Amino acid sequence: MTDRARSRAELAERLAKKGYSPEIAERVLDRLTEVGLVNDADFAQQWVHSRHTYSGKGKRALALELRRKGIGQEDATEALAQIDSEDERARATELVEKKLRTVSADDRDRAVRRLVSMLARRGFPQGMAFEVVKEQLDRAGAETDGLFDET
């Protein structure tokens, strides 16, 4: 059918673009749903897992993506429930650790702004972003504190 799973709303939009009448599109989508080929709840679960794990998206960004894909509030809420705050924090920490390799920690304020902004763009809560960035910068500073001491 397609190169990736799609929501019912996405498929309806594609059928409309191809010139199918809304009645025909609705019947086709009903049939696909009936036989299990279209399932918004499953799509939402897969989307959230994939985008959180591989793209490093936070809950807020994922909720927005699901809404744009036409997923209902109930299915979206259920799918987002698979990410608890500990998972989200762990993913944010991984992202900051990775980004710290390319960001100079010499100017701490600038590093904080860049790292917190990166997490915000990915949909992580601001409070969590500041905490994670501070912890990782403190840890990175502790690892380099004795690096140039003369012995």
Q: State both tokens at 25.
A: 């599109």
Tell the burial category of 79 from Cβ atoms under 10 Å away from its Cβ (0-12, 13-18, 19+): buried
Tell the burial category of 58 from Cβ atoms under 10 Å away from its Cβ (0-12, 13-18, 19+): buried
In whole angstroms, give the CA distance from residue 40 to residue 3.
17
| Look-up of token digits 């902004």 | 117
Q: State both tokens at 96.
A: 């900051």
Collect all residues with Cβ–Cβ distance below 8 Å to 131 and sequence separation of at least 6: none
Taking only Cα atoms into account, the Rg of the chain, rounded to an integer number of angstroms, comes to: 21
Q: What value does the mean pLDDT of the chain take?
A: 90
Q: How confident is the model at residue 2 (pLDDT cuts 50, 70, 90)?
A: low
DSSP structural state of residue 68 = H
Q: How confident is the model at residue 66 (pLDDT cuts 50, 70, 90)?
A: very high
The residue type at 40: D
* More confidently predicted of 44 and 139: 44
* More confidently predicted of 107 and 38: 38
DSSP structural state of residue 105 = S
Can you give the pTM of this predicted structure? 0.82
Cα diameter, the chain: 81
Please give the pLDDT value at position 106. Answer: 75
In whole angstroms, give the CA distance from residue 151 to residue 146.
10
In whole angstroms, give the CA distance from residue 52 to residue 56.
5
